């Protein structure tokens, strides 16, 4: 039997995802029509013998209870949310809930960062892990030399063994990076216990340092992976499939495009298709069945339309996510943008952002995940985001801007954050 853990952090994480995370926990933000971590759950549900998914985070239980119920009934596996009393780090929560993870004696368990999106190679990881008799297998991919510094970096020894691991190094170590997806054997809890007890002994010192962390805090990368590197039991499986972090709203658009492309390969019935009674579709488009889209509108490529949304005649949408209950009035244009729940875009309005895709000329380039402002205090060009329940008046232009919830916009805006 196998299990999976999905780490989702808490409300204080994911700040670069605002204002989209103001109304909905970031792990539940819909990408290609499904909450971000539903893609993880769906990948897990396809692994034979995987019978339980434990979501670990510091969000209040109520934020996730409905989602967890829905997921259990959709996929027919046990799904539970375990709430940390305070953020315990990427391994502290797993150690805290170790009895729940170990119950039923799973042979192995996956650990998945909730803020990554990928064509998860879970079956390959199981085969690889078994063949190596590993304690832990890391899904790995290539990054550019410069971008590798933002990730965990590994140097491999013989047969995929990790000889050296450095988390977010300050100088170049390797272009092989940690994807934040792992397969672990149960003995990993022994390593966590060693780290936990060492930390407890240093507890009084830590309090003196005043770092504000709970003594049960354990960082999986710095405390566990670094310790296991070179032990002969930590392995990495380099993969060439699509993988990306989702740290910023811009990276949600990028992830949306890739999940839609995966639907085309694996579940084409999820994508909207052209027929006599449909609107004009270009490329990969997801339309929730409850949305009403006028025949004369044109959507795509890479567009997701949420539940109960109304799209009037002549609308053009490209490379964008439109969330639930929005009203897109006639002849408006939406490009490289995210339109928040319950928002209204007026007739003939234009909402446009700047694409922030990885550099196509650099092999293995990843999303940049730039902060909102550059060093000169200016807004970095990015996608345009309309928060929840915003109203944009007819014939207005909104370019490269971020609009917080409940704003009424009656003029044009360019490169602004509208608070």
Residue ranges in contact with ligand GDD by CB under 6 A? 7-9, 13, 56-58, 84, 87-90, 93, 113-116, 151-152, 167, 177-180, 221, 245
CA dist 173 and 152 (Å) reads 10
CA dist 395 and 345 (Å) reads 9
CB of 94 to ligand GDD, least distance (A): 8
- Determine how many CB atoms are found less than 10 A away from the CB of residue 172: 12
CB of 10 to ligand GDD, least distance (A): 6
Which one, 95 or 128, has the nearer CB to ligand GDD?
A: 95
> What CA–CA distances, in Å, run from 65 to 24, 43, 60, 307?
13, 21, 9, 20
Strands (E), 211-366: 234-238, 243-245, 280-281, 285-287, 292-293, 298-299, 303-305, 310-311, 316-318, 320-322, 327-328, 333-335, 337-339, 344-345, 350-352
Phi-psi region of 143 (alpha: psi -120 to 50; beta: other; left: phi over 0): beta
CB of 219 to ligand GDD, least distance (A): 8
Which one, 50 or 154, has the nearer CB to ligand GDD?
A: 154
Which one, 99 or 277, has the nearer CB to ligand GDD?
A: 99
CA dist 77 and 86 (Å) reads 27
Residue where the block lists tokens 């995987």: 50
CB of 224 to ligand GDD, least distance (A): 11
Which one, 82 or 372, has the nearer CB to ligand GDD?
A: 82
CA dist 378 and 153 (Å) reads 31
Q: Which of 50, 199, 195 is nearest to 112 (CA)?
A: 50
Which one, 138 or 398, has the nearer CB to ligand GDD?
A: 138
Which one, 148 or 388, has the nearer CB to ligand GDD?
A: 148
The H or E element spanning position 261 is helix 249-266
CB of 165 to ligand GDD, least distance (A): 9
Which one, 67 or 286, has the nearer CB to ligand GDD?
A: 67
Residue with the CB atom nearest ligand GDD in the bound state: 152
- Could you check whether the bond before residue 19 is cis, i.e. omega within 30 degrees of 0? yes
CA dist 250 and 382 (Å) reads 7
CB of 182 to ligand GDD, least distance (A): 9
CB of 319 to ligand GDD, least distance (A): 23
CB of 134 to ligand GDD, least distance (A): 17
Which one, 38 or 245, has the nearer CB to ligand GDD?
A: 245
3-state helix, strand, coil split of the chain in percent (to 5) is 25, 30, 45
Which one, 218 or 253, has the nearer CB to ligand GDD?
A: 218
CA dist 129 and 122 (Å) reads 10
CB of 218 to ligand GDD, least distance (A): 9
Buried b (16+ CB within 10 A) or exposed e, 173-196: bbbbbbbbbbbbbeebbebbeebb
Which one, 115 or 284, has the nearer CB to ligand GDD?
A: 115
CB of 57 to ligand GDD, least distance (A): 4
């Amino acid at each position: 039997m196998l299990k999976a853990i999905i780490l989702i952090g808490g409300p204080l994480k994911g700040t670069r995802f605002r204002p989209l995370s103001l109304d909905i926990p970031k792990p539940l933000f819909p990408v290609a029509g499904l909450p971000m971590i539903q893609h993880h759950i769906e990948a897990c549900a396809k692994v034979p013998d995987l019978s339980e998914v434990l979501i670990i985070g510091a969000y209040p239980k109520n934020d996730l209870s409905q989602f967890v119920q829905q997921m259990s009934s959709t996929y027919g596996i046990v799904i539970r949310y375990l709430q940390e009393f305070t953020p315990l780090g990427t391994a502290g929560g797993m150690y805290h809930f170790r009895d729940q993870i170990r119950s039923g004696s799973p042979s192995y368990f996956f650990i998945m960062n909730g803020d990554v999106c990928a064509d998860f190679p879970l079956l390959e990881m199981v085969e690889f892990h078994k063949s190596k008799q590993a304690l832990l297998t890391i899904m790995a991919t290539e990054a550019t030399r410069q971008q590798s510094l933002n990730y965990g970096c590994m140097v491999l020894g013989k047969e995929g063994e990790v000889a050296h691991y450095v988390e977010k190094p300050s100088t170049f170590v390797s272009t092989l990076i940690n994807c934040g997806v792992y397969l672990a054997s149960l003995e990993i809890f022994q390593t966590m216990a060693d780290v936990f007890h060492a930390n407890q002994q240093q507890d009084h010192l830590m309090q003196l340092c005043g770092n504000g962390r709970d003594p049960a805090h354990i960082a999986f990368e710095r405390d566990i992976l670094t310790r296991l590197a070179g032990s002969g039991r930590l392995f990495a499986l380099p993969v060439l499939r699509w993988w990306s972090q989702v740290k910023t709203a811009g990276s949600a658009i990028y992830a949306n495009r890739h999940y839609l492309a995966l639907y085309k390969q694996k579940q084409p019935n999820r994508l909207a298709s052209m027929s006599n009674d449909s609107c004009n579709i270009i490329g990969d488009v997801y339309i929730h069945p409850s949305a009403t889209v006028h025949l004369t509108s044109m959507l795509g490529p890479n567009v997701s339309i949420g539940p109960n949304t109304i799209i009037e005649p002549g609308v053009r949408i490209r490379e964008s996510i439109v969330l639930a209950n929005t009203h897109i009035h006639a002849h408006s244009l939406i490009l490289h943008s995210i339109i928040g729940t319950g928002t209204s875009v007026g007739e003939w309005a234009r909402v446009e952002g700047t694409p922030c895709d990885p550099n196509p000329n650099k092999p293995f380039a990843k999303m940049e995940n730039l902060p909102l402002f550059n060093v000169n205090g200016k807004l970095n060009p990015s996608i345009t985001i309309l928060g929840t329940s915003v109203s944009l008046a007819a014939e207005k232009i909104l370019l490269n801007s971020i609009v917080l919830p409940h704003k009424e916009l009656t003029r044009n805006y360019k490169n602004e954050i509208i608070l």
